[in-house]
Amino acid sequence: MNRTKIPWCNWTWNPIVGCSPASAGCLNCYAKRISRRHAENPTLPEHVRAAHRRALSDDRTQWRDPPCLTFLPERLAEPARVRTPGLVFVCSTSDLGHERVLWGWREDICDAMRAAPWHQYIACTKRPGPWLRQLPPTCWVGVTIEDQMNIGRWPLLWNMAWARAVLFVSVEPMLGPLTFQRWRGQCEPDQVIAGPETGPGARLCEDAWIDALAAESPCFFDKRKVWKRREFPQGAGVRP
């Protein structure tokens, strides 16, 4: 696992390499840039560099089409090696719900979570589906929604994982106004994380969009540099 500067978790854990675009929010994918760096990183084992090269197009500017994902089973033991409890973002540079992720890969990843239960695991996807039922019930699960056009991911997540301790929404990058008023008092997210796109080619995000979403969210994590609220769900157990 790797220590991270992501402000809502302590560690990232990536036993899967590779991904592919799911919607407009993926245009300037940070994970794609990370894979490009790792493909040429001489400090990484050759088979890991090769996995990153396979994940990218020949010119290494895009994810490969059709997608090429690689499972790295040697990374399954990493959570158990870290004895201090922490918030662990699972597959931060991929999507555990990707259609190219084999059922057995997820089972092995879930077994590794169960083997180190002192951590709080967090999984976030753009592809909610029945696979969510594989995850340990204590794993927080979230869905990425960048604008109102993709709001349908939220009820899909709710229907598949409503019994879990924490269900959250990551609005990153926020590309337009977004509201969950339709589900107010029924199936609201336990936490909403929202922030603008960063890095090369970052697209517009209005402060008013984030402020409006924060005003309707009982638990909100503001990803702007000048932030107003940073709250974690009740009963989180550990904090960064």
Question: What residue spans define the domains of the chain?
Answer: 2-14+73-222
Residue 37 amino acid letter: R
Tokens of 225: 């540099």
C-alpha span between 167 and 181 (Å, rounded)? 16
Of the candidate CATH numbers 3.30.1460, 3.20.20, 2.60.40, 1.10.10, the domain formed by 2-14+73-222 belongs to 3.20.20
Asked if 127 and 95 count as a contact pair (C-beta separation under 8 A), the reply is: yes
pLDDT value of position 6: 86
Q: Are 197 and 147 in contact (CB under 8 A)?
A: no
pLDDT at residue 235 in the model: 53
Q: What is the mean pLDDT of residues 5-23?
A: 94
Residues in contact with 226: Cβ distance below 8 Å, sequence separation at least 6, in sequence order: none
- 56: DSSP letter: B
Q: Which pLDDT does position 7 carry in this prediction?
A: 85
Per-residue pLDDT, averaged over 32-46, amounts to: 96
Confidence label for 236 from pLDDT (cuts 50, 70 and 90): very low
DSSP conformation letters of 11-54:
EEE-SEE-----SGGGTT-HHHHHHHHHTT-TTS-HHHHHHHHH
Count of CA atoms in the C-beta half-sphere (13 A) of 223: 23
What is the reported pLDDT for 239?
A: 31
Distance CA 47, CA 44 (A): 8
Mean pLDDT score of the chain: 93
pLDDT (tens digit, 9 = 90+) per residue, 52-71?
999 999 999 999 999 999 99
pLDDT at residue 213, as a whole number:
97
pLDDT tens, residue by residue, 98-142: 999 999 999 999 999 999 999 999 999 999 999 999 999 889 999
Per-residue confidence (pLDDT) for residue 164, from 0 to 100:
76
Three-state DSSP at 93 gives coil
**How far, rounded to the nearest angstrom, does the alpha carbon of residue 95 sit from its chain's CA centroid?**
7
Largest CA distance in the chain: 52
| pLDDT per position as a tens digit, 24-35 | 999 999 999 999
